[in-house]
């Protein structure tokens, strides 16, 4: 059986920066070549980044992507990497003469096969995901052909991401065509438990196709999405034989013993058993040289809490790095949300770039100040205190307000202070510290503690915030480091401290109950009858549903934050703000 050395380049690119991404591709191809690879797979749309959103509608962007892939082929050849076969994702349009208004003029999400200075063929994704965070029907025209390339005598079928998730189509056709290897290039965003699902999917499709399957995934943060890498190789029996790290760049290299391709006349095209047009391309048939075999690695999985924490760190870190943001400012109340946000920020961009502000009011407890100071001591972040009581008093001299209006004034004054610091010492942003539970029920002050450029905990429920905080401290102990989060911050009862003795439970049900209802209402999209049938108190269900529905306007104005759940607020859950639909009340 011919031996093929494959390299999966799970890299972190930059949406829109085609020229820098092309440089990255060359660099990773060089690394693959140095590792002796015959074939290197790069992630879906590696040249443009993913998702490009409405950049896909700009002809200039599509043309630049297309030109870049052609130049890349000659660049690789000129760099002495022409013998390597590279699968490179990009955006293409082949029918630019058609009317822009017609769907036929839409570009395609493609993967080009580059070899010996040419673009040998280019596969267009068949299945376009159009659910959750994906809008691919808005942008792309689906493909209808399959390409099979022969590398070192092995037939390799190339498909793109969602093609793997759907039954039938190009994956089934590749199996029927008898490929030895199915190469799948991906940009599959992280969400909790998705890695388990992906692992099973890859193994199942490999068994169904009767072929070894190599799955390469992107790494890095892109606005609200974070890509976790976690590239996988499964043999044709469904055994995972190699797996890359999560949330880190890596070149995963493996030697594969694969069956020789069947007799296909060079360059012959035809219709496969499932009726799909299949084009064959013979690139190389010579056997691999004698070389010391590489033992493929199977990287250990992170724990559930560990992977969520890593996602939040990478999401915030890449948002800052890719947008030229050097520092972050945030209000430190000594509470669990701002403390965990600060710990994530320190891990993402370094404590020396994190500026925490304590802004005590007349109602602030002593522990709110001492716990915030202790956090600074433990992490090494910059810490300063700007009391707001005199500013609040000055406002009250000119304003006749009380109750919630007066409470919100305090939160807004803090927001003004954080933004002023950020403006003064930029390039920097303010971090909003709200969590998913608060965001769901509108428990934050708009233009107050809701100000900011990024919200790391936006998709993390309050009960999970506590778990993550405990996990981060345990992790520090395991590594022999100082746990960042003060014990009192984890154990004390949450309070907004906007009036004397205020507790979150004055306005909200206990978070364990609230989060259970929110899980079903927000993530599960269940209706009132289902929630009541599950045993939740009907009055409480009504109250929570009302709070969630009414807070849509607040969520729309909230900063972006990393998606970690099946359904995050934002692109994943799109509801009208002006909405008269009410159930049972």
Ligand X SMILES: Nc1ncnc2c1ncn2[C@@H]1O[C@H](COP(=O)(O)OP(=O)(O)OP(=O)(O)O)[C@@H](O)[C@H]1O
Ligand Y SMILES: Nc1ncnc2c1ncn2[C@@H]1O[C@H](COP(=O)(O)OP(=O)(O)OC[C@H]2O[C@@H]([n+]3cccc(C(=O)O)c3)[C@H](O)[C@@H]2O)[C@@H](O)[C@H]1O
> Which of ligand Y, ligand X, ligand GLN, none does residue 165 bind to, with CB < 5 to 8 Å depending on kind?
ligand GLN
Bridge-based pairing state of the strands 212-217 and 181-186: parallel
Closest CA to 469 of 559, 366, 338: 338
User: Alpha-carbon distance 463 to 484, whole Å?
Assistant: 19
The conformation of residue 114, written as its DSSP 8-state character, comes to E
Residue 162 touching ligand GLN (CB under 6 A): yes
Distances (CA, A) of 18 to 22, 56, 540, 556: 6, 13, 51, 30
- Residue 189: count of CB within 10 angstroms of its CB: 24
**Paired tokens of 389:** 């009581």
* Cα end-to-end span (Å), the chain: 69
565 near ligand GLN (CB under 6 A): no
- Beta carbon of residue 116, minimum distance to ligand X (angstroms, whole number): 57
- 521 labelled as ligand-binding? no
Selected binder of ligand X within 496, 508, 516, 531 (CB under 6 A) = 496
Q: What are phi and psi of 550, to 5 degrees?
A: -70, -20
Q: Does 195 bind ligand X (CB under 6 A)?
A: no
Range in contact with ligand GLN (rule: CB under 6 A) among 137-145, 186-194, 233-241, 464-472: 186-194
Is 554 annotated for ligand binding? yes
CA gap 166, 331 in Å, rounded: 46
Q: Which single residue brings its beta carbon nearest to ligand X?
A: 335
- DSSP character at residue 246: B
Taking CB under 6 A as the criterion, which residues in 34-63 touch ligand GLN? Answer: 44
Q: Quote the least distance from Cβ 94 to ligand GLN, whole Å.
A: 21
CA distances from 354 to 326, 357, 383, 411, 412 (A): 9, 10, 9, 21, 21
**Strand pairing partners for 182?**
157, 213
Catalytic positions, please?
44, 125, 161
> Is residue 165 involved in binding ligand GLN (CB under 6 A)?
yes
3-state secondary structure of 232: strand
Residue 200 or 506: the one with the smaller Cβ distance to ligand Y is 506
Q: What element of type H or E holds 411? A: helix 403-424
Please classify residue 114 by burial: count the beta carbons closer than 10 Å to its beta carbon, then call 0-12 exposed, 13-18 middle and 19+ buried: buried
Choice between 84 and 413, CB closer to ligand X: 413
- Name the residue nearer to ligand Y (CB basis): 2 or 334: 334
336-395: contacts with ligand GLN (CB under 6 A): none
Sign of the Cα pseudo-torsion (479, 485, 490, 494, in order): negative
Q: Which stretch binds ligand X (CB under 6 A): 13-21, 130-138, 329-337, 560-568?
A: 329-337
Sign of CA dihedral 331, 333, 334, 339: negative
Residue 172 in contact with residue 199, Cβ under 8 Å? no
Binding mask 121-160 for ligand GLN (x = CB under 6 A): --------x----x--------------------------
Q: Is 218 in the site for ligand GLN (CB under 6 A)?
A: no
Q: Are 2 and 181 in contact (CB under 8 A)?
A: no
Query: Which does residue 445 bind out of ligand X, ligand Y, ligand GLN, none, counting CB within 5 to 8 angstroms by kind?
Result: ligand Y
Q: Which of 497, 544, 559, 569 binds ligand X (CB under 6 A)?
A: 497
Phi, psi of 436 (to 5 degrees): -65, -35
Extract the tokens encoding 245: 């790290």
| For ligand GLN, the closer CB: 134 or 566 | 134
Report if residue 336 touches ligand X, rule: CB under 6 A. yes
Q: Which stretch binds ligand GLN (CB under 6 A): 115-123, 183-191, 264-272, 559-567?
A: 183-191
Interacting residues with ligand X between 350 and 379 (CB under 6 A): 357-360, 364, 368
438: annotated binding-site residue?
yes
Binding residues: 131, 188, 194, 331-338, 408, 438, 554
Binding site for ligand GLN (CB under 6 A): 44, 129, 134, 161-162, 165, 187-189
Binding site for ligand X (CB under 6 A): 330-333, 335-338, 357-360, 364, 368, 414, 433, 438, 449, 494, 496-497
Binding residues for L-glutamine: 131, 188, 194
Binding residues for ATP: 331-338
């Amino acid at each position: 059986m011919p031996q093929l050395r494959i390299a999966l380049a799970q890299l972190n690119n930059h949406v829109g920066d085609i020229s820098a991404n092309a440089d990255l591709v060359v660099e990773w191809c060089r690394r693959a070549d140095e590792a002796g690879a015959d074939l290197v797979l790069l992630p879906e749309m590696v040249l443009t980044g993913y998702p490009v959103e409405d950049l896909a509608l700009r002809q200039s962007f599509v043309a630049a992507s297309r030109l870049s892939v052609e130049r890349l082929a000659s660049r690789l050849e000129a760099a002495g990497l022409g013998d390597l076969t590279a699968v490179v994702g990009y955006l293409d349009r082949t029918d630019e003469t058609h009317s822009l208004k017609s769907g036929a003029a839409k570009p395609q999400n493609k993967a080009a096969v580059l070899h010996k200075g040419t673009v040998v063929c280019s596969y267009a994704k068949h299945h376009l995901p159009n659910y959750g965070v994906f809008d691919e029907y808005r942008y792309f025209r689906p493909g209808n052909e399959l390409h099979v390339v022969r590398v070192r005598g092995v037939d390799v079928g190339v498909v793109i991401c969602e093609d793997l998730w759907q039954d039938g189509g190009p994956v089934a056709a590749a199996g029927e065509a008898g490929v030895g290897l199915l190469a799948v290039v991906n940009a599959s965003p992280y969400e909790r438990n998705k890695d388990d699902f992906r692992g099973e999917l890859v193994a199942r499709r490999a068994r169904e196709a009767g072929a070894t399957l190599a799955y390469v995934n992107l790494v890095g943060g892109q606005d609200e999405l974070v890509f976790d890498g976690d590239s996988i190789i499964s043999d044709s029996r469904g055994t995972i034989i190699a797996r890359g790290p999560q949330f880190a760049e890596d070149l995963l290299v493996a030697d594969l013993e694969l069956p020789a391709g069947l007799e296909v006349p060079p360059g012959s095209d035809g219709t496969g058993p499932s009726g799909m047009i299949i084009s064959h391309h013979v690139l190389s048939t010579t056997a691999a040289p004698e070389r010391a075999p590489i033992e493929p690695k199977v990287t250990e999985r992170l724990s559930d809490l560990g992977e969520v924490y890593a996602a939040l760190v990478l999401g915030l870190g890449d948002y800052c790095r890719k947008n030229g943001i050097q520092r972050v400012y945030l209000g430190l109340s000594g509470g669990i949300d701002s403390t965990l946000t600060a710990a994530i920020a320190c891990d993402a961009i370094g404590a020396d770039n994190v500026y925490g502000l304590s802004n005590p009011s007349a109602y602030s407890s002593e522990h709110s100040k001492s716990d915030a100071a202790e956090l600074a001591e433990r992490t090494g972040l910059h810490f300063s205190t700007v009391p707001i009581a005199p500013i609040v008093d000055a406002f009250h001299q000119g304003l006749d307000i009380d109750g919630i209006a007066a409470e919100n004034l305090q939160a807004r004054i803090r927001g003004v202070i954080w933004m002023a610091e950020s403006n003064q010492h930029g390039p920097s942003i303010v971090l909003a510290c709200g969590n998913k539970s608060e965001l769901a029920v509108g428990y934050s002050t708009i233009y107050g503690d809701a100000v900011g450029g990024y919200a790391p905990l936006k998709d993390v429920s309050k009960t999970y915030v506590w778990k993550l905080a405990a996990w981060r401290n345990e992790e520090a102990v395991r590594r022999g480091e100082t746990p960042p989060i003060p014990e009192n911050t984890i154990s004390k009862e949450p309070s907004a401290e906007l009036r004397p003795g205020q507790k979150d439970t004055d306005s909200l049900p206990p978070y364990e109950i609230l989060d259970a209802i929110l899980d079903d209402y927000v993530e599960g999209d269940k209706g009132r009858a289902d929630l009541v049938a599950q045993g939740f108190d009907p009055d409480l269900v009504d109250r929570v549903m009302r709070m969630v529905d009414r807070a849509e306007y607040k969520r729309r104005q909230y900063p972006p934050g990393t998606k970690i759940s099946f359904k995050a607020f934002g692109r994943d859950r799109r509801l009208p703000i002006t909405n008269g639909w009410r159930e049972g009340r």
